Amino acid sequence: MAVRQHHAGALRILRPHYLDGSGQVCYVVINPGGAYLGGDRYLIEVDVAPGADLLLTTQSATKVYRTPGSRAEQHTHVRLGAGARLELLPDPLIAYREASYRQVTTVDMDPSASFVMAEVLTPGWSPDGKLFRYDEIRLRNEVSVDARLRVLDNLLIRPRTGSPVDGMSFMDRHTHLGSLLVMDARVDGVLVDELHTVLAPMDPQGQLGITLLDGPGLALRALSRSTEPLNEILAAAVDLLRRRWHGQENLNLRKY
């Protein structure tokens, strides 16, 4: 249960609930306005106390509509105490025609803490029926362990400048991107190999990659032409970690 909770402006936090008997608390962030617009600025700050266990998710997809004149931004600051755990598992980010969006996530964590963050990026519907009509998406992640920067992950997608053909070949003509970042002292090469074994059958086109990080940690990226395969890959990876490290069943967020 939260010791202190506050929200103001567009974002809201629903009452906490528990998805299983492990004691992990789940909070859901909602945006009553329905979408991010040009000039919007959002700030999320999360402190997980020593030994605490939190799953933070969203009620639905984060939608970014047209942003003429000024991009939309979201900044998330996370602090994890000794033995703390955070699973940051939002619904997909959907960028619509002429959208420009910047998302910055900074994490300061104790070496004994555990951090898992998933992200799926998908293009939104466009009146002309074409995909990849957004202007720019920038996703930047900075993770410091014991006050030392360990991971700097900066993803920049500009479809209209990324390809001389139709804006899609810079992702090998795939339109959807899935990412998973895990920072935990228990990550090693054996775990990475196991994840490859479990996830490879779900990726028949070979668009999945997993990198071992000096965190210790790992980064997973996958490409697809739709959202569902990426959701399945990321869910399978998260479920494997939950079973291995915490003895939990497969995650069921019960949103529908």
Backbone angles phi, psi at 202, to 5 degrees: -90, 0
Give me the pLDDT at residue 255, please: 62
Between CA 144 and CA 105 the distance in angstroms is 11
The structure's pTM equals 0.92
Pairing of strands 41-48, 12-13: unpaired
* 88: confidence class by pLDDT, cuts 50, 70, 90: very high
Q: Which two tokens stand for residue 210?
A: 């997993």
Domain boundaries, the chain: 12-246
Give me the pLDDT at residue 256, please: 53
Give me the pLDDT at residue 7, please: 80
Neighbouring CB atoms inside 10 A of 202's CB total 15
pLDDT higher than 50, residue 51: yes
